Structure 1
């Protein structure tokens, strides 16, 4: 493969349409009819980019577009790999004009001294990362906290202007203005210059990503030139007072410390690019989100009823209908993507909005689900070393917008309209968003408390803790020996999410502030209800006691999940299922499934007394002599050493710690990866920070090195560095914070990974595990 860019080499097209005479590019390259017709400036692309390229995502994930002169990439894994490798796929053309400017417009730009240089978005290494590191601090979650009161105040003031009108164009009346004002405040622009900069910002977007007609180019160039000149004047004003809170003032201070990294031309270019990046993408993203939520009334009602869902709703909106449709890259060497040979020097349009609807990454990708657990895997903010620095500022603004509208206008609805978009390849949002409502129903007319925010705004990737759903308790049956069986159904009668044997749900225990995990023990085929069985632990932390004492039929609970980190291998030839006490709950569902599949299986169930062994009668009826029962007060015990375990056997176990410890000892004589365990508790709480040591973590994809302090978890350090990592239990039990390890030895402290998985040293749980040495390298 060639490592040099050959600008004279022609990009060839590998696709042929065998159904007829194929159209051709100017150099005679035969291509598919759909590829020949691909035009991102068409209304169909603007209305729904993922749908427009569905054919490619499903059939031809990489194709050449003769109209655009770009190779188009549409699948999640391919696009993430492109973001990950910024040496092979240079971002240098990310801000290149998609429509070349004519000579007259170029003369206008030159008359203003327009000299836009590289910025964080389109800069190659080795220049990019030193600047990114130098300018990162104002974007960290801690630094962004100070902006929340200002954003809340602005949103309230703008809503006040139209709250009693009964109708509004949200784009014109709030969504365009507030993000721009926030962007200017974040940059540190003086109040007296804000109105002028507002006027110019749209021209920069049209100039770079749009397709202005020849007669429009001169007018756009005039505005861009004025924008450039005025931005320079404002920057000089900032230099006279560099101690302010703005990002530009921060950059000016950094320039004194790192003059070769933060240069004058760089600051000038970032002044312009920063306004556009912080303004338009957030304005469009919020308009898209509100449009999407109002088109899905149940989702809108859900966040109105439970504002804790808003952070994850924001992520799902960014995934399903984000404001970034595509980015651009330049291949610096010959490379193959999805089996297609791409020559060095080729331009790539990577359709991130298509990646976000890829079924290979997102199950039911076209479905809009505000409780989707991996919604934040979306690529709307990019990935790796060029991931959007302002992502958490955008998330914060979107949450505040949604929180305000759900409080003050929960009854608003979309007015009849046809949505239009400014034609461009990359950024999209409706030009207008018309809504209407009955002012007489405004909640604040009867209750001024709705003006107060109801929830804290989360800065950063949302935690799975917030993805809850309301359920109603349909029955509570006391099964003896301090065990209660609870059945749950959706509040509105809709089917509950599908689940698989070994799954658990998290139950929020009323106002106690705690939540606990309970395995599902019913029949996965029954979509109407979930069932859990709960043992009352008298020395517990309160969850089981609350469920026993406070939960009655008709009660409304909030749950999360289901999730499954204890999954039955349905291809196994033989399974041995071992349960102790209440540990029978996941094992019972596994046994049912093994029987359905015709797997050779046996169930071993131990308990103190028969009265304490919940589900025993049902298990006996269903499994007959495949069920072996061991009862302590009958002097019968399971002899684990007598179990027949060979290479074709998988063993699943759940129960008390002493039982699991004994099994793990016996399992050292079994084939590797035979034993799978579900734990009730984790020992993470016994960690002594005084005995820990600090270590460094190199983030291979992001180009960062993060120090994890002795009294800090890896998860906390990553969040502090503005790196997204999903999480849930944060006790080493659930596995949701798993990260990939590329180098270094891990001190594993979770109860999720098997012995073999730990020995492979390729995965770790960020919430609890640490480095054995002084450095780890992660795929982040």
Structure 2
């Protein structure tokens, strides 16, 4: 330990990777009370050992930093000289605020270039300037708004035939071989060719640009040796000069196709925004951004799918699953492991104080495996409903502009392989990754198959099949999964319990207490949300309990009248917007009627964790109250039962009369009960009360009583009008903006969007009181502008 401390002190003395915080004022603890190490730097042993160039990191970044997500989500790496950020909400918060967290170092060399290498670059007049990836405001958004149109889904459609043609031609080359290295024989070249076509690079110049593009990656994100730096410098210099020559050739024909010519044409009217140096730099950056991320992303996607044969078989049989499978591949095994930012002023991430000048490495691949965001995050689930919320493309105003081009390519490649080589399998091999902090994909991907089983030999017509592309929100069918009703029985008055299992007996997705699923009511077009009430540790089944509501809008009545043991139904989820805080010291659970369903799972979790808790369960009569026997057996005198017909009613004023800052309250039940609880908790700490609603308070949208309003989409650079007879969600989806949605009643929380400016008329029952008062987010399916004035959204 003393040796390690001396080594770290020596690093600080030499000015290498020193901790950027002055701890002299803290004594032996940090300001948050945590102990510091022997040399005064708050670096744990694991943080000190963190090495993003190690094979363990390269093989599986999320697993490599699992300890950090769980124990030390923001830590300083002495080896790298960066603060490492690992949790979803923290990474997203950094992306969200590009003023506090500048993208200016996004392309900074991880390994500083030697004087000799810099001298070589100078001989080529190398002058890479800021691009869309790493420039600050206000320059960034001005350029982004001008240059984004060719990246819109509508504009990308005309590239689809070219991508399909390339995919077909390359698979043709090895379809009868029975074995191929997909990286070398297809996945490296096709995305680069697509990128060059998108940019508008003439065919005769493509081969040379292919040769130089990898050097730019190594130069920026890698750790080349001094000797390698000299070779890389020559390649990057040649890349720079060639990009300039091609750009000049394009200027001679500015009306031709491609994004670079689009920029050249815009330059005439906006010379101060789109400069010569900017176009030159974007020529290089665009090739790398469009090429390597997609090449690696496709290789990663095929690898993870073939490692999960059941998922591979499903998309082979049902191509409509491919778009959401692509999102899950990007989440689970994306091509971008991390992004970088520079802290511009003293700030905090979580409870960690960061001074201005700190450098951040946000491990987005770790964020994509955060259990706080993604249920059973390590499970690869092609029907995951929030897979598209992955941060592989970044988030906010610097989200990758080429995300939909990459999605298009991945979908087309997977469609081609699943149609023509459904019997393909991974060959035995060891996977190697280019050592760098950010781009990640296997250098080789060997696959094998029996050519005699190629489907097109018996049915050439399959080559004419074509699945529709879907860029944006996944379809409901793509995220729903079939389940079998193993058991359907009445467990109390008008309460039906369903036990659901997988048709093939395989495990169902894991979930956490408070989660719910959506169940589709046959062909009625109705889907309803029901809380899970089984044991989260049992992945063999999911259980829900359904009250037959006399005022049913069709869901509960249909299920009671139509569902029988052995039936097949489709569900979506699980997802959780009613998550229990596992660190709570004391919890009061309050349930009314069918509201016991999420509470029962939460109480079981509280007991398992050793949390001090009590349950207060109210109902019309004991005969109408489900799970009473098992609740009494499991919780004993912690359970308090109130049956109205016995004259026994819960006195909320007495129960909650004394606020306690160490106690959390979780409640689910009728709206009247929840309203009463809210009144009794007015003097409690803010957000001590957590509620789950199972009825919407929304009525039909009445255009005569609504006002139209405008929304400015800050990231997209467009402004939309939300008509008086239209929801914000409808307006966004009409403009092909990616927004998840499900219940459309303000109940499920899936359609949340972030609001940067403007007053909100909150109409949902998802957000807490303080979240509504913060005015920073809204449910787009129901909430509107409070005064009919413009809202600015982070979309």
TM range (shorter): 0.7 to 0.9
C-alpha separation in 1, matches of 2:184 and 2:54: 24
State the match for 1:6 in structure 2.
none
State the match for 1:185 in structure 2.
197
Q: Unaligned 5+ residue runs, structure 1?
A: 1-15, 631-635
Match of 2:84 among 67, 73, 79: 73
State the match for 1:314 in structure 2.
326
Q: State the secondary structure of the residue aligned to 2:439.
A: coil
Match of 1:62 among 75, 87, 90: 75
Could you say if the C-alpha distance between residues 99 and 156 of structure 1 is closer, same or farther in structure 2, counting changes exceeding 3 Å?
A: same
Q: State the secondary structure of the residue aligned to 1:506.
A: strand
Cα drift, residue 127 of structure 1: 1.7
Q: State the secondary structure of the residue aligned to 1:227.
A: helix
C-alpha separation in 2, matches of 1:565 and 1:81: 19
C-alpha separation in 2, matches of 1:331 and 1:480: 58
State the match for 1:734 in structure 2.
748
Could you say if the C-alpha distance between residues 317 and 577 of structure 1 is closer, same or farther in structure 2, counting changes exceeding 3 Å?
A: same
- Pairing 1:274-289 to 2, within 5 Å after superposition: 274-289=286-301
Are the aligned partners of 2:643 and 2:649 in contact in 1 as well (CA < 8 Å)?
no
C-alpha separation in 1, matches of 2:651 and 2:327: 49
Cα drift, residue 282 of structure 1: 0.8
Could you say if the C-alpha distance between residues 141 and 645 of structure 1 is closer, same or farther in structure 2, counting changes exceeding 3 Å?
A: farther
Comparing 105-114 and 594-603, the one that deviates more: 594-603
Could you say if the C-alpha distance between residues 489 and 745 of structure 1 is closer, same or farther in structure 2, counting changes exceeding 3 Å?
A: same
1:256 paired to 2:268: yes
- Pairing 1:673-712 to 2, within 5 Å after superposition: 676=691, 678-680=693-695, 683=698, 685-688=700-703, 691-697=706-712, 706-710=719-723
1:628 paired to 2:643: yes
Could you say if the C-alpha distance between residues 600 and 548 of structure 1 is closer, same or farther in structure 2, counting changes exceeding 3 Å?
A: closer
Q: State the secondary structure of the residue aligned to 2:268.
A: helix
Comparing 451-460 and 385-394, the one that deviates more: 451-460
Are the aligned partners of 1:35 and 1:64 in contact in 2 as well (CA < 8 Å)?
yes
- Pairing 1:582-621 to 2, within 5 Å after superposition: 599-605=614-620
State the match for 1:433 in structure 2.
445
Are the aligned partners of 1:83 and 1:386 in contact in 2 as well (CA < 8 Å)?
yes
C-alpha separation in 2, matches of 1:114 and 1:432: 32
Could you say if the C-alpha distance between residues 279 and 424 of structure 1 is closer, same or farther in structure 2, counting changes exceeding 3 Å?
A: same
The two structures have a TM-score, normalised by structure 1, of 0.80
1:291 paired to 2:303: yes
Q: State the secondary structure of the residue aligned to 1:395.
A: helix
Match of 1:385 among 388, 397, 401: 397
Could you say if the C-alpha distance between residues 122 and 484 of structure 1 is closer, same or farther in structure 2, counting changes exceeding 3 Å?
A: closer
Q: What's the CA shift string for 1:704-754, capped at 9, x where partnerless?
A: 674443265434555678875443323322112234556532222334346
Q: What's the CA shift string for 1:582-623, capped at 9, x where partnerless?
A: 88866887899999987252422389xx9xx69699799989
- Pairing 1:510-659 to 2, within 5 Å after superposition: 510=522, 514-520=526-532, 527-532=539-544, 547=559, 552-565=564-577, 577-579=591-593, 599-605=614-620, 626=641, 628=643, 646-647=656-657, 654=669
C-alpha separation in 2, matches of 1:376 and 1:469: 17
Are the aligned partners of 1:114 and 1:225 in contact in 2 as well (CA < 8 Å)?
yes
Are the aligned partners of 2:587 and 2:666 in contact in 1 as well (CA < 8 Å)?
no
- Pairing 1:346-361 to 2, within 5 Å after superposition: 347-358=359-370
Could you say if the C-alpha distance between residues 35 and 606 of structure 1 is closer, same or farther in structure 2, counting changes exceeding 3 Å?
A: closer
State the match for 1:750 in structure 2.
764
Could you say if the C-alpha distance between residues 548 and 441 of structure 1 is closer, same or farther in structure 2, counting changes exceeding 3 Å?
A: farther
State the match for 2:32 in structure 1.
none
C-alpha separation in 1, matches of 2:600 and 2:59: 48
Q: State the secondary structure of the residue aligned to 1:25.
A: helix
State the match for 1:11 in structure 2.
none
Cα drift, residue 294 of structure 1: 2.2
Cα drift, residue 262 of structure 1: 1.0
Cα drift, residue 131 of structure 1: 0.9
State the match for 1:164 in structure 2.
176
Could you say if the C-alpha distance between residues 192 and 713 of structure 1 is closer, same or farther in structure 2, counting changes exceeding 3 Å?
A: farther
Q: What's the CA shift string for 1:643-671, capped at 9, x where partnerless?
A: 9774479795656xxxx4x6678778654
Are the aligned partners of 1:730 and 1:768 in contact in 2 as well (CA < 8 Å)?
yes
1:121 paired to 2:133: yes
Q: State the secondary structure of the residue aligned to 2:164.
A: helix
C-alpha separation in 1, matches of 2:255 and 2:394: 32
State the match for 2:33 in structure 1.
none
RMSD: 4.6
Cα drift, residue 274 of structure 1: 0.6
